Amino acid sequence: MAMPSLFKKLLYSRQFRYDNGKFFMMMDVPGIIIAMNVWVGVYKELLLNAKGKKKLFEIGHEQGLTAGRRYSMRAATSFPSFLNFTKGVVEITGIGQIKFASSGDKVVANISPSPIAENYRKKFGKTKEPICHYVVGISSGAFEGFTKKKWEGKEVKCVAKGDSFCQIIMKKK
């Protein structure tokens, strides 16, 4: 598989750095590298109750707001360029490969592969409902941060349920 173009750009422009035991992406965004089985184990614990599902969404939403605002100031000047930049970020952060279809106040995001949902299903089995609350939260937050308008997201397909891809529908409120 080819390296995503945003990853190449960040790598070659030295936008990743490691300093005194800390990893940074896009120079100032701290991060960690964590095994997916650890991530989905923590995720599972949060999904066991409604408060945990809401918390996953809230954490994602807050991170998305920050990222969307940052993208509007640094990386994207239009909504299509924002979607293109977001596609690159989603891929290099390991959330999966994403394709957007946009029309008016609605955006459909298809994620395939979806490492979170795939590994969740492998580790815990098929679910009855979608599990990508964090991804929906980060999406709605990023869209809001970039456009300065409220967005509502809903996952309608999920690999953890047995679907062939995860699908999130975003609508402007």
Write the CA distances from 140 to 10, 37, 58, 107, 159, integer angstroms: 25, 25, 10, 11, 20
| pTM (predicted TM-score) | 0.82
Give pLDDT, residue 46: 87
Alpha-carbon distance 154 to 29, whole Å? 27
What is the model's pLDDT at position 166?
A: 97
Q: What is the pLDDT of residue 2?
A: 60
So what's the pLDDT on residue 104? 85
Cα–Cα dist 89/106, whole Å: 20
Tell me the pLDDT tens digit for each residue of 81-115: 999 888 888 887 788 899 999 998 999 999 998 99
State whether the Cα torsion 145-47-55-105 is positive or negative. positive
Instruction: Look at residue 124 and tell me whether its pLDDT is greater than 90.
Output: yes
- Cβ pair 27, 102 in contact under 8 A: no
List of domains in the chain: 34-172 (3.30.1380.20)
Tell me which residue of 57, 40, 69, 25 sits closest to 138, measured CA to CA.
Answer: 57
The closest of 34, 33, 31, 42 to 120, measured between CA atoms, is: 42
Choose among 77, 89, 76: nearest CA to 9: 89
